[in-house]
Amino acid sequence: MKTFGLARIGRDVEIRFIHSGEAVANLALAFNYREKGEKCTQWIEASLWGKRAESLAPYLKKGGLISVTVDDVHVETYEGSNGKGVKLVGRVSDLELAGGGQSGEQADKPKPAPQPRQAAPKQASGFDDMDDDIPF
């Protein structure tokens, strides 16, 4: 089964390296949807592998919004402190940052005031005699 859409990241990414040295990033993804007018959330535990896991890990922070495709979504059983349970797991095949959420450092720092831009000196382009009233 394949799932795709916008998802919120439920916790900061956890990255580890398997014995071959390949990186694996574990993500908790929350997909929101409506059922009978009620807001529902479906969680999927997903993994992102290889160089993409390493390069994207700093940007995958709790609360971030991503556009994601998760392949091989299936049910796994587990045993936790509250007894047995089930969860959906899969492997990320496509991911794009969509915004939302901030890293802790960025959230704590005030944004600097925008600096006024100075107009660039006009260079002779050979088009100085053209009419600027073109309607498109």
Domains, the chain, in order of start with CATH, read 3-104 (2.40.50.140)
pLDDT for residue 107:
47
Please tell me the pTM assigned to this model: 0.68
Distance between CA atoms of residues 19 and 52, nearest Å: 18
Task: Supply the mean pLDDT for the chain.
Answer: 82
Yes or no: say if 73 and 44 are a contact pair by the CB < 8 Å rule: yes
- Of 93, 78, 79, 23, nearest to 53 by C-alpha is 23
Tens of pLDDT, residues 34-81: 998 999 999 999 999 999 999 999 999 999 999 999 999 999 998 888
pLDDT: which is higher, 99 or 69: 69
- Of 11, 40, 50, nearest to 28 by C-alpha is 11
pLDDT for residue 80:
83
Cβ atoms within 10 Å, residue 90: 21
- The phi-psi region of residue 19 (left if phi > 0; otherwise alpha if psi is between -120 and 50; otherwise beta) is alpha
pLDDT for residue 104:
45
Write phi, then psi, for 119 (nearest 5 degrees).
Answer: -65, 135
Over residues 18-40, the mean pLDDT reads 93
Helices (runs of H) and strands (runs of E) counted in the chain: 2, 6
Yes or no: say if 24 and 53 are a contact pair by the CB < 8 Å rule: yes
